[in-house]
Amino acid sequence: MSKTPATKTWLRKGNSELSSIGVYVWSIPALVAKTEAFGNVKTCPNAGICALLCYARTGRYLFKTVVKAHTRNLEGYLSDPEGWKYGMLLELQSKRFRPTGMPHDFEWSVRRDFHWWTDSGGRAVRIHDAGDFFSEDYLLDWIYIARKTPDVLFYCYTKQVSICKKVQAGIDMPKNWVAIYSLGGREDHLVDKENDRHDDIFPDLQALTNAGYADQEKSDLMAPLLPTNKIGIVANKIPSLRKKQGPLSFAQLQQSRSKRSL
């Protein structure tokens, strides 16, 4: 018997920028979660230099209400994965995910720019504005949800390169699933920077442009929808994190750390 209430709302509107473009978010605690039922859960197993520069470990993410909500999400999944999937699928059938009243046609051939998605009434789910895929089963459950909801875009930034590549090589991936490998983790070396969609976080726009990356500042949907594999992000304007990062990108910092550990 499922322990998860079918009426629970798991997905919330993102910040003002994300909600304005029809993006809903799912979050769990970043890096490590302290739970009553499951103890400490490592939610970002392949975090590297990013752990020291993570925006999701600062500011409002540290508010008790936010920590509690994100932990509740994690515990809801861990305590009853099947019930969680059922509740999530039920929620994704609601009217707010189909504002035009009709299923959205996910057609990649019209992906000329990112505007086509929002202009035609598309809705998206950003998986993890905090946290990551902490297990292969958890990743597979999200892919199952995407497959069952083919008119909603699901996208994620992830440092779980090895399990993502393993899963993608073994199953027929749904077209509405876009994984963006996020550099700055322990598996950067597994990312094919020419053929894998990935992102790097730069100290400023000039560094981003000089490295040959496309800036996604105008819309987070540019990351999954732009016709390029090189997504550039300018670091958040958090003084303490900017100071720690210095003039290098996350990928450069991780590479420097890896060389020192040899």
Per-residue model confidence as pLDDT tens for the chain (262 residues):
445 445 578 998 877 778 788 899 999 999 999 999 999 999 999 999 999 999 999 999 999 999 999 999 999 999 999 999 999 999 999 988 887 776 666 665 545 556 767 777 788 999 999 999 999 999 999 999 999 998 899 999 999 999 999 999 999 999 889 999 999 999 999 999 999 999 999 999 999 999 999 999 988 988 988 889 999 999 998 999 999 999 999 999 999 887 776 4
122 close to 149: Cβ distance less than 8 angstroms: no
**CA gap 55, 238 in Å, rounded:** 8
User: Where are the chain's structural domains?
Assistant: 12-261
Nearest to 18 by CA among 149, 94, 126: 126
Other C-beta atoms closer than 10 Å to the C-beta of 31 total: 17
Note the pLDDT of residue 105: 63
Residues recorded for the chain: 262
217 close to 247: Cβ distance less than 8 angstroms: no
b/e code 59-94 from CB counts within 10 Å (16+ = b): eebeeeebbeebbebbbbbbebbebbbebbeebbee
Note the pLDDT of residue 1: 40
Whole-model pTM: value is 0.91
